[in-house]
Amino acid sequence: MATAAKKSSAQTSAKNKSTTTKARPKKGSRTSRRTATASKRPKDAIALLKADHKEVDAMFKAFEKTDDDAEKQELAKQICQALTVHAQIEEEIFYPAAYDAFDEEGDDLVDEAQVEHASAKALIAEIEAMTVGEPLFDAKVKVLGEYIKHHVEEEEKEMFPECREAGMDLKALGEQLAARKAELTASLAA
Protein backbone atom coordinates (compact mmCIF):
# COMPACT_ATOMS: atom_id res chain seq x y z
CA MET A 1 0.00 0.00 0.00
CA ALA A 2 2.70 2.34 1.11
CA THR A 3 4.66 1.55 -2.02
CA ALA A 4 1.63 2.12 -4.16
CA ALA A 5 0.96 5.42 -2.43
CA LYS A 6 4.56 6.39 -2.91
CA LYS A 7 4.40 5.39 -6.55
CA SER A 8 1.23 7.35 -7.03
CA SER A 9 2.78 10.34 -5.37
CA ALA A 10 5.82 9.97 -7.57
CA GLN A 11 3.54 9.82 -10.60
CA THR A 12 1.76 12.92 -9.45
CA SER A 13 5.01 14.67 -8.94
CA ALA A 14 6.22 13.52 -12.35
CA LYS A 15 2.98 14.74 -13.80
CA ASN A 16 3.44 18.12 -12.14
CA LYS A 17 6.99 18.22 -13.29
CA SER A 18 6.00 17.49 -16.84
CA THR A 19 3.33 20.18 -16.62
CA THR A 20 5.97 22.58 -15.38
CA THR A 21 8.38 21.49 -18.08
CA LYS A 22 5.66 21.99 -20.65
CA ALA A 23 5.28 25.59 -19.51
CA ARG A 24 7.82 26.73 -22.08
CA PRO A 25 6.22 25.30 -25.17
CA LYS A 26 2.92 26.56 -23.76
CA LYS A 27 4.32 30.04 -23.92
CA GLY A 28 4.83 29.46 -27.61
CA SER A 29 1.28 28.24 -28.03
CA ARG A 30 -0.03 31.32 -26.25
CA THR A 31 1.87 33.32 -28.80
CA SER A 32 0.35 31.36 -31.64
CA ARG A 33 -3.07 31.86 -30.08
CA ARG A 34 -2.36 35.57 -29.97
CA THR A 35 -1.35 35.47 -33.64
CA ALA A 36 -4.52 33.58 -34.51
CA THR A 37 -6.56 36.14 -32.59
CA ALA A 38 -4.73 38.93 -34.37
CA SER A 39 -5.68 37.55 -37.76
CA LYS A 40 -9.30 37.31 -36.61
CA ARG A 41 -9.23 40.85 -35.25
CA PRO A 42 -11.78 43.17 -36.83
CA LYS A 43 -10.59 44.74 -40.03
CA ASP A 44 -10.27 48.48 -40.19
CA ALA A 45 -13.42 50.22 -41.37
CA ILE A 46 -12.35 50.54 -45.00
CA ALA A 47 -11.21 46.93 -45.25
CA LEU A 48 -14.50 45.77 -43.75
CA LEU A 49 -16.63 47.87 -46.12
CA LYS A 50 -14.54 46.82 -49.13
CA ALA A 51 -14.94 43.16 -48.16
CA ASP A 52 -18.72 43.69 -48.07
CA HIS A 53 -18.59 45.30 -51.52
CA LYS A 54 -16.66 42.35 -52.90
CA GLU A 55 -19.04 39.85 -51.36
CA VAL A 56 -22.13 41.47 -52.81
CA ASP A 57 -20.46 41.87 -56.21
CA ALA A 58 -19.85 38.11 -56.26
CA MET A 59 -23.54 37.53 -55.49
CA PHE A 60 -24.63 39.80 -58.35
CA LYS A 61 -22.29 37.88 -60.69
CA ALA A 62 -23.72 34.56 -59.51
CA PHE A 63 -27.23 35.91 -60.15
CA GLU A 64 -26.27 36.86 -63.71
CA LYS A 65 -24.80 33.42 -64.35
CA THR A 66 -27.60 31.19 -63.13
CA ASP A 67 -30.80 30.19 -64.91
CA ASP A 68 -32.13 28.34 -61.89
CA ASP A 69 -35.16 30.14 -60.48
CA ALA A 70 -34.76 28.91 -56.89
CA GLU A 71 -31.14 29.99 -56.91
CA LYS A 72 -32.06 33.38 -58.35
CA GLN A 73 -34.70 33.92 -55.66
CA GLU A 74 -32.24 32.96 -52.92
CA LEU A 75 -29.46 35.13 -54.35
CA ALA A 76 -31.80 38.11 -54.68
CA LYS A 77 -32.80 37.66 -51.04
CA GLN A 78 -29.17 37.45 -49.94
CA ILE A 79 -28.19 40.49 -52.02
CA CYS A 80 -31.02 42.57 -50.56
CA GLN A 81 -30.21 41.54 -46.99
CA ALA A 82 -26.47 42.11 -47.37
CA LEU A 83 -27.04 45.54 -48.90
CA THR A 84 -29.58 46.50 -46.25
CA VAL A 85 -27.14 45.68 -43.44
CA HIS A 86 -24.24 47.32 -45.27
CA ALA A 87 -26.17 50.53 -45.97
CA GLN A 88 -27.39 50.69 -42.39
CA ILE A 89 -23.94 50.35 -40.79
CA GLU A 90 -22.59 52.98 -43.16
CA GLU A 91 -25.45 55.35 -42.37
CA GLU A 92 -25.37 54.77 -38.62
CA ILE A 93 -21.62 54.70 -38.05
CA PHE A 94 -19.39 55.41 -41.02
CA TYR A 95 -21.07 58.34 -42.74
CA PRO A 96 -21.57 60.35 -39.52
CA ALA A 97 -17.88 59.86 -38.70
CA ALA A 98 -17.01 61.00 -42.22
CA TYR A 99 -19.18 64.13 -41.86
CA ASP A 100 -17.35 64.88 -38.62
CA ALA A 101 -13.93 64.48 -40.20
CA PHE A 102 -14.54 66.03 -43.63
CA ASP A 103 -14.56 69.61 -44.81
CA GLU A 104 -17.48 70.94 -46.87
CA GLU A 105 -16.25 69.42 -50.11
CA GLY A 106 -15.93 66.03 -48.45
CA ASP A 107 -19.40 66.40 -47.00
CA ASP A 108 -20.78 66.58 -50.56
CA LEU A 109 -19.46 63.07 -51.17
CA VAL A 110 -21.36 61.77 -48.16
CA ASP A 111 -24.51 63.66 -49.19
CA GLU A 112 -24.35 61.99 -52.60
CA ALA A 113 -23.80 58.60 -51.05
CA GLN A 114 -26.86 59.03 -48.83
CA VAL A 115 -29.04 59.92 -51.82
CA GLU A 116 -27.75 56.87 -53.67
CA HIS A 117 -28.54 54.70 -50.66
CA ALA A 118 -32.12 55.97 -50.61
CA SER A 119 -32.65 55.06 -54.27
CA ALA A 120 -31.00 51.67 -53.82
CA LYS A 121 -33.23 50.97 -50.82
CA ALA A 122 -36.36 51.75 -52.84
CA LEU A 123 -35.26 49.25 -55.49
CA ILE A 124 -34.38 46.70 -52.80
CA ALA A 125 -37.88 47.03 -51.32
CA GLU A 126 -39.42 46.42 -54.76
CA ILE A 127 -37.26 43.32 -55.32
CA GLU A 128 -38.05 41.96 -51.85
CA ALA A 129 -41.75 42.22 -52.59
CA MET A 130 -41.38 40.24 -55.82
CA THR A 131 -41.04 36.60 -56.79
CA VAL A 132 -38.64 35.23 -59.37
CA GLY A 133 -40.31 34.90 -62.75
CA GLU A 134 -42.40 38.02 -62.32
CA PRO A 135 -41.95 40.59 -65.07
CA LEU A 136 -38.96 42.86 -64.44
CA PHE A 137 -37.58 40.78 -61.53
CA ASP A 138 -34.30 40.00 -63.32
CA ALA A 139 -34.09 43.53 -64.71
CA LYS A 140 -34.51 45.09 -61.28
CA VAL A 141 -31.76 42.93 -59.78
CA LYS A 142 -29.51 43.77 -62.73
CA VAL A 143 -30.15 47.50 -62.41
CA LEU A 144 -29.56 47.32 -58.67
CA GLY A 145 -26.22 45.66 -59.45
CA GLU A 146 -25.22 48.43 -61.85
CA TYR A 147 -26.37 51.03 -59.39
CA ILE A 148 -24.37 49.51 -56.55
CA LYS A 149 -21.32 49.17 -58.78
CA HIS A 150 -21.37 52.90 -59.43
CA HIS A 151 -21.93 53.70 -55.75
CA VAL A 152 -19.13 51.38 -54.63
CA GLU A 153 -16.73 52.97 -57.12
CA GLU A 154 -17.42 56.40 -55.68
CA GLU A 155 -16.96 55.16 -52.13
CA GLU A 156 -13.75 53.31 -52.86
CA LYS A 157 -12.15 55.84 -55.22
CA GLU A 158 -13.32 59.10 -53.71
CA MET A 159 -14.72 58.76 -50.22
CA PHE A 160 -12.36 56.20 -48.68
CA PRO A 161 -9.13 57.97 -49.74
CA GLU A 162 -10.62 61.15 -48.26
CA CYS A 163 -11.28 59.25 -45.00
CA ARG A 164 -7.63 58.23 -44.76
CA GLU A 165 -6.50 61.76 -45.50
CA ALA A 166 -8.84 63.20 -42.89
CA GLY A 167 -7.25 60.92 -40.30
CA MET A 168 -10.42 59.10 -39.26
CA ASP A 169 -9.94 56.44 -36.58
CA LEU A 170 -10.54 53.57 -38.97
CA LYS A 171 -9.57 50.89 -36.48
CA ALA A 172 -12.12 51.96 -33.89
CA LEU A 173 -14.75 52.47 -36.59
CA GLY A 174 -14.00 49.01 -37.97
CA GLU A 175 -14.75 47.51 -34.56
CA GLN A 176 -18.01 49.43 -34.29
CA LEU A 177 -19.05 48.46 -37.83
CA ALA A 178 -18.26 44.79 -37.23
CA ALA A 179 -20.23 44.72 -33.97
CA ARG A 180 -23.27 46.42 -35.48
CA LYS A 181 -23.09 44.24 -38.59
CA ALA A 182 -23.13 41.10 -36.44
CA GLU A 183 -26.11 42.42 -34.50
CA LEU A 184 -28.12 43.31 -37.62
CA THR A 185 -27.23 40.09 -39.43
CA ALA A 186 -28.36 38.08 -36.41
CA SER A 187 -31.67 39.95 -36.21
CA LEU A 188 -32.29 39.29 -39.92
CA ALA A 189 -31.57 35.59 -39.48
CA ALA A 190 -33.91 35.33 -36.48
Contacts with Fe ion, residue ranges (CB under 5 A): 49, 90, 155
Of 59, 61, 126, nearest to 86 (Cα)? 59
Closer Cβ to Fe ion, 155 or 162, answer by number: 155
Closer Cβ to Fe ion, 55 or 69, answer by number: 55
Taking CA atoms, 168 is separated from 48, 51, 92, 108, in Å, by 15, 19, 16, 17
Whole-number minimum distance, CB 106 to Fe ion, in Å? 15
Closer Cβ to Fe ion, 49 or 59, answer by number: 49
Whole-number minimum distance, CB 94 to Fe ion, in Å? 8
| Residue 167 φ/ψ, nearest 5 degrees | 70, 35
Closer Cβ to Fe ion, 44 or 90, answer by number: 90
Cβ-contact 64, 152 below 8 angstroms: no
What DSSP line would sit under 55-88, residue for residue?
HHHHHHHHHHH---HHHHHHHHHHHHHHHHHHHH
Of 81, 151, 67, 164, nearest to 110 (Cα)? 151
Whole-number minimum distance, CB 140 to Fe ion, in Å? 19
Whole-number minimum distance, CB 53 to Fe ion, in Å? 6
CA-based Rg of the chain, rounded to a whole angstrom? 26
C-alpha dihedral sign at 160, 164, 168, 171 = positive
Whole-number minimum distance, CB 156 to Fe ion, in Å? 8
Closer Cβ to Fe ion, 65 or 150, answer by number: 150
